[in-house]
Chains A and B, each alone.
Chain A
Amino acid sequence: MCGHRNRLTYEKDNGDGVTTSELFRADGLAKSYPGVRANDNVSFSVAPGEIHALLGENGAGKSTLVKMIYGLVRPDQGRMMLGGQLHAPADPRAARASGVGMVFQHFSLFDALTVAENIALGMDSPPPRADLSRRITEVSAAYGLPLNPARRIASLSAGERQRVEIVRCLLSNPRLLIMDEPTSVLTPQEAEILFATLRQLAAQGTSILYISHKLDEIRTHCDCATILRQGRVVGTVSPAEHSARELAAMMVGAEMRLVDRSGRQAGEVVLTVAGLTSAAGLEGTALKNVGFQVRAGEILGIGGVAGNGQEELIAALSGETTGRPGTVVMDGRDLSSQGPEARRRAGLLAAPEDRLGHAAVPDMSLTENAILTGATRQGLQKNGILDHRAARSFAERIIAAFDVRTPGPGTAAGALSGGNLQKFVIGREILQEPRALVVNQPTWGVDAGAAAAIRQALLDLAGRGAAVVVISQDLDELLELSDRFAALNNGVLSPPVPTEGLTLEQVGLMLGGAHGMEVAHVAA
């Protein structure tokens, strides 16, 4: 069973003499969508003041499960109990009224509205403006999450946006707080602040249902973990008593392959970037004199919170924006003024992070999406006419090599789950055997098993002599993959340093110092 580090041991008498030490219980929950059994006979319980993790691969049914608890989706079968009473919310409003709060993975905030307006929208009977602003300031200060109620969301960093969501929940005094992958966008320092807040909440008796892919995080901070696989509960364990490997094995139902970084040797310089300066994109940051070199067989990791120039950097490297002569040079050839197609021909490929809308066209099939970047290098067109058979077989190769779970290459890209599409998008570039590859957030929103596969594929690519640049917010990933590490902050790239021997602490400092959460914002 589970450890009880943070748990308050209070028992509640629910009236008919039966005492219970559980706040929430799910019994045999089931939910099906056309063609998918998202949840099947799911049962688990959460004690008061417990931080309870929900673990599972993409598509294991975690999101559906919490949506049922939050009243966004109605279960087909089964029942839920909250505080000894039947919990069957008709909508999120009813769920909030009975004490359930939720912080969403993709923030459910309104960019053009202020912090106070966003929070008012999340409450059922908000107090008048001035009172609300005062309470926001009070509550946010009490939990160490400072916020200015009058600021517009669009001007906040990811960490600050998350604070808004959390404060929005806290103002309604929830008994059960659901957090869907809260740390995926945070720096280590920001994550520490979040955990301190969660522990404080748990100590006050609030139960927390915590969804994350980060096994180490769950092992350190959660009392209990319920593991889901293909919509079913495969076990409830105390995560501290298991290694990350064991947990991952339970999630995927098989031993996970460990990332192997052996067998690589840095060769000659392939990609040279020098004096790269660009205008800021929408809500982004301008690049200021960015320069680095990547050798054959080497992986350069670029860390930093998104919005500090990451999008501008990948756009400048992919050819989406062109630059002054001499800024992007590959194998002695100046590609600065060339567009994406010319750069692909020369062997410089890129996989941007926004898989829906930037890296893939949602309404087009996987075959058509494969053509979009692979046409030239894979010979998918002859005399201006597309060779659909070759394109389909290229798409099929990607699907097979990267274990993309889809009915076939004719499926629309938008119909794939985020992680599966990510595997496809990365695979599409890797299978073209680039001379140099630039990827942004290669494993964002991808489950542990698939993330390991993508990382291994990047390492193997480097092992075959390609130069690889990985831009990511996930520092563990960068430390695992890269030979050298550089931080991109406010459009300025730090000088790359060898990853060997670098600690998370030092990396955090490189990203902008001990003030962690304010970094991105002050910079912008």
Chain B
Amino acid sequence: MIEWTTFLLLLSAATPILFAALGETIAERAGVLNLGVEGMMITGALAGFAAAHATGSPMAGFVAGAVAGAALSLIFGGLTQYLLTNQVATGLALTMFGLGLTAMFGKPYEGVKAPSMAGGPLGINWVIWLGLVLVPVTWLILNRTRPGLILRGVGENHDAAHALGYKVRGTRMAAIAIGGALAGVGGAYVSIATVLQWTEGMTAGAGWIALAIVVFAGWSPWGVLAGAWLFGGVTVLQLRLQAAGVAVPVQLLSMAPYLATIIVLVIISARHKYAGGGGTAPGSLGRSFHALR
């Protein structure tokens, strides 16, 4: 069945972005703009690949990817939340740091093959399943639980949250760490499950697409899922077109998923705004919090 395998390819191509974008959604709903997603993904990709290679277990690889992504994000958290550095600049620095760090430590792993991953129910491996389950879970936690409410409150108006006695920094550090861990898993998926080897800069801008998806999806987990699938779908389509030898330059085809995702999301979010609804950015997004005591 061609349709089913095509859908599987779509799911697989969407998974890294889904994880990273869900993580960034959580961080941004808490009011933190972390532009270091790409850096956290690539770090997760290398750490995950190395751990999977060393232990022979892909599972260990994903755990290592999550830990590495979270560790990197905590550097960002410490700088922005405690030393009150600018979030945009710090996030960009984090991406460059992650890319440089992995380029250096990744050398020994070039040309090495990843351990093979077992399939799961319906031929879908368990990481894809986990990503799909995380969508409703994230929505539920954000919208229907008290920690989620506090997180949204902190992101919406940090001064008011502080005045009510909530720990703005603590909440944000937790959100940053969760965002980093999810980005790390997303990166590990690229090296362990998609490409099956390590190459320098292999996340190829997936982190930036994840960032764009979060905004255009209106900070909603369901919107993030739609955006990730759109990206996955166009990726599979262009791979098929490449394989079929269509007379379009390969560079254009490779560009297509990024371009298509951005264009469609821009149109959707613009229509949303004009219809008067749609997600608006968390009120305190990207602003440093400094409490006078």
Contact = CB atoms under 8 A, between A and B. Distances in A.
Nearest to B157: A110
Interface stretch (A112-120, A138-146, A373-381): A112-120
B164 A74 contact: no
A274 interface: no
A110 B283 contact: yes
Interface in B98-116: none
Given A112-B282, A121-B161, 13 more contacts: A72-B163, A74-B293, A92-B163, A96-B165, A108-B163, A109-B157, A109-B160, A110-B152, A110-B156, A112-B283, A113-B149, A120-B149, A122-B164
Given A71-B165, A111-B157, A121 B283 contact: no
B7 to A, nearest CB: 35
Interface string B139-173: 00000001001101100110111011110000000
B29 to A, nearest CB: 10
Kindly name the residue among B146, B156, B292, B293 whose own CB sees the greatest number of chain A CB atoms within 10 A.
Answer: B156
Contacts of A72: 163, 293
A110 B165 contact: no
A234 interface: no
B146 A126 contact: yes
A92 B162 CA distance: 9
A104 interface: yes
Interface residues of B, number: 19
B25 to A, nearest CB: 15
B150 A121 contact: yes
A93 B163 CA distance: 10
A120 B160 contact: no
Given A92-B165, A120-B146, A108 B159 contact: yes
A91 B167 CA distance: 10
A96 B153 CA distance: 18
Interface in A99-136: 104, 107-113, 117, 120-122, 126
A109 B157 CA distance: 8
Contacts of B165: 71, 91-93, 96
Kindly name the residue among A72, A93, A104 whose own CB sees the greatest number of chain B CB atoms within 10 A.
Answer: A72
6 contacts: A72-B163, A92-B165, A108-B164, A113-B153, A117-B152, A121-B153
Kindly name the residue among A73, A107, A111 whose own CB sees the greatest number of chain B CB atoms within 10 A.
Answer: A111
A132 to B, nearest CB: 11
Kindly name the residue among B159, B164, B293 whose own CB sees the greatest number of chain A CB atoms within 10 A.
Answer: B164
A113 B164 contact: no
Interface in A297-317: none
Kindly name the residue among A74, A91, A107 whose own CB sees the greatest number of chain B CB atoms within 10 A.
Answer: A91
B289 to A, nearest CB: 14
A110 B166 CA distance: 13
B280 interface: yes
Contact of B280 (A96, A109, A112): A112
Contacts of B283: 110-112
A120 B160 CA distance: 13
B144 to A, nearest CB: 8
A109 B153 CA distance: 9
B293 A110 contact: no
A222 B165 CA distance: 29
Contacts of B161: 110, 121
A71 to B, nearest CB: 7
Contacts of A111: 156-157, 283
Contacts of A92: 163-165
Nearest to B167: A91
Contacts of B164: 92, 108, 121-122
B163 A110 contact: no
Interface string B165-206: 110000000000000000000000000000000000000000
A302 to B, nearest CB: 28
A130 to B, nearest CB: 12
Interface string A180-214: 00000000000000000000000000000000000
Given A72-B163, A92-B163, A110 B153 contact: yes
A76 to B, nearest CB: 12
Contacts of A121: 149-150, 153, 161, 164, 166
Nearest to B156: A110
Interface string A47-73: 000000000000000000000000111
B8 to A, nearest CB: 37
Contact of B163 (A74, A104, A113, A120): A104
Nearest to B162: A72
B215 to A, nearest CB: 15
Interface in A70-102: 71-74, 91-93, 96
Nearest to B143: A117
B169 to A, nearest CB: 14
A108 B280 CA distance: 19
Nearest to A117: B149
Nearest to B219: A112
A363 B159 CA distance: 19
A108 B158 CA distance: 9
Closest 5 CB pairs of A and B: A92-B165, A108-B160, A93-B165, A110-B156, A108-B163
B223 to A, nearest CB: 16
Interface in A137-170: none
Contacts of A112: 152, 156, 280, 282-283
A92 B160 CA distance: 12
Nearest to A67: B163
B276 to A, nearest CB: 11
A74 B293 CA distance: 7
A111 B69 CA distance: 32
Nearest to A124: B165
Contact of A113 (B146, B156, B292): B156
Kindly name the residue among A74, A92, A107 whose own CB sees the greatest number of chain B CB atoms within 10 A.
Answer: A92
A178 to B, nearest CB: 12
A71 B163 CA distance: 9
Kindly name the residue among A111, A112, A117 whose own CB sees the greatest number of chain B CB atoms within 10 A.
Answer: A112
Contacts of B159: 108
